[in-house]
Amino acid sequence: SQTIHQWPATLVQPVGSPLSLECTVEGTSNPNLYWYRQAAGRGLQLLFYSVGIGQISSEVPQNLSASRPQDRQFILSSKKLLLSDSGFYLCAWSVPMASGTYEQYFGPGTRLTVT
Amino acid sequence: AQTVTQSQPEMSVQEAETVTLSCTYDTSESNYYLFWYKQPPSRQMILVIRQEAYKQQNATENRFSVNFQKAAKSFSLKISDSQLGDTAMYFCAIEGGTSYGKLTFGQGTILTVHP
């Protein structure tokens, strides 16, 4: 069965410090990978998605970047955090279904607080 | 661009009763998919139900069913025989048929089930 891991689960970082959040998927090959951010009490906003190694698409201009060094590894980074980067970050994976859709499965998330 | 609107920030229901959560959407895609996700206090995102836009029959999953009105661009979720474990935030989401599985989410509805 497929499993998705995210770490760390919780992170408190000062403004201006770097960031690295990691996501790995087990039990599937060549998945599409996604990073979402959820502000407090709000919906999810797609930040980045990747359809293959080294292929990253950005959905929202921002202070963050993403990389996919391996097939099942997705990393979210920042060189200098801003207060507005605080939030709950979710990684997700999907593979195409026979019906034509992609069914997404989410990781447990990372709660980031920038102080 | 796709948009999803959930007009009910909060709802409450008594245990064993039925509740309906509303969702409207807008898309220029001719082929798309609609989803309801549940996010309990643990913040783990869980897929509740999926509807293919080309199917006229409303999807059902046990106590969960949808009322899909394509012309009105409406996609409501009905929860029958509500249980305490249904207490969560519920998100409506849309995926365009050519979007590599990218989801656009609504702002969510907090559902509280009272004993």
Name which residue leads in pLDDT, A54 or B30.
A54
**C-alpha–C-alpha distance, residues A63 and B48, integer Å:** 33
pLDDT value of position A74: 97
From the centroid of its chain, how far is CA B54? 17
Give the closest residue to A92 by CA, choosing from A69, A76, A81, A78: A76
Could you tell me which chain B residue has the CA closest to the CA of A102? B101
pLDDT value of position A1: 75
Give chain A positions within 8 Å (CB) of B104.
46
Q: How far is B45 from chain A (nearest CA, A)?
A: 6
Helix/strand/coil for B108: coil
Q: Tell me, yes or no, if B115 comes closer than 8 A to chain A by beta carbon.
A: no
Pairing relationship of beta strands B10-14 and B88-96 according to DSSP bridges: unpaired
- Could you say which DSSP state residue B59 is in? P
Q: How far is B38 from chain A (nearest CA, A)?
A: 11
Token pair for residue B36? 């309801």
Give the closest residue to B33 by CA, choosing from A69, A110, A99: A99
Query: A–B: how many Cβ contacts below 8 A?
Result: 59
Residue type at A35?
W
pLDDT tens per residue across span B7-22: 999 999 999 999 999 9
Using the predicted structure, report yes or no on whether residue B26 has a pLDDT greater than 90.
Answer: yes
Mutate to test the interface with B, among A101, A103, A105, A112 (most CBs of B within 10 A): A101
In this structure, how many other beta carbons lie within 10 angstroms of the beta carbon of residue B91?
25
Positions in chain A short of pLDDT 70? none
B105 and A94 in contact by Cβ < 8 A? no
pLDDT value of position A107: 95
Question: Contact, B105 vs B3, CB < 8 A?
Answer: no
Of B31, B44, B108, the CB nearest to A106: B44
pLDDT value of position B8: 96
pLDDT tens per residue across span B31-45: 899 999 999 999 999
A92 and B104 in contact by Cβ < 8 A? no
pLDDT tens per residue across span B55-104: 889 999 999 999 999 999 999 999 999 999 999 999 999 998 677 888 99
**C-alpha–C-alpha distance, residues B33 and B30, integer Å:** 10
**C-alpha–C-alpha distance, residues A79 and B50, integer Å:** 38
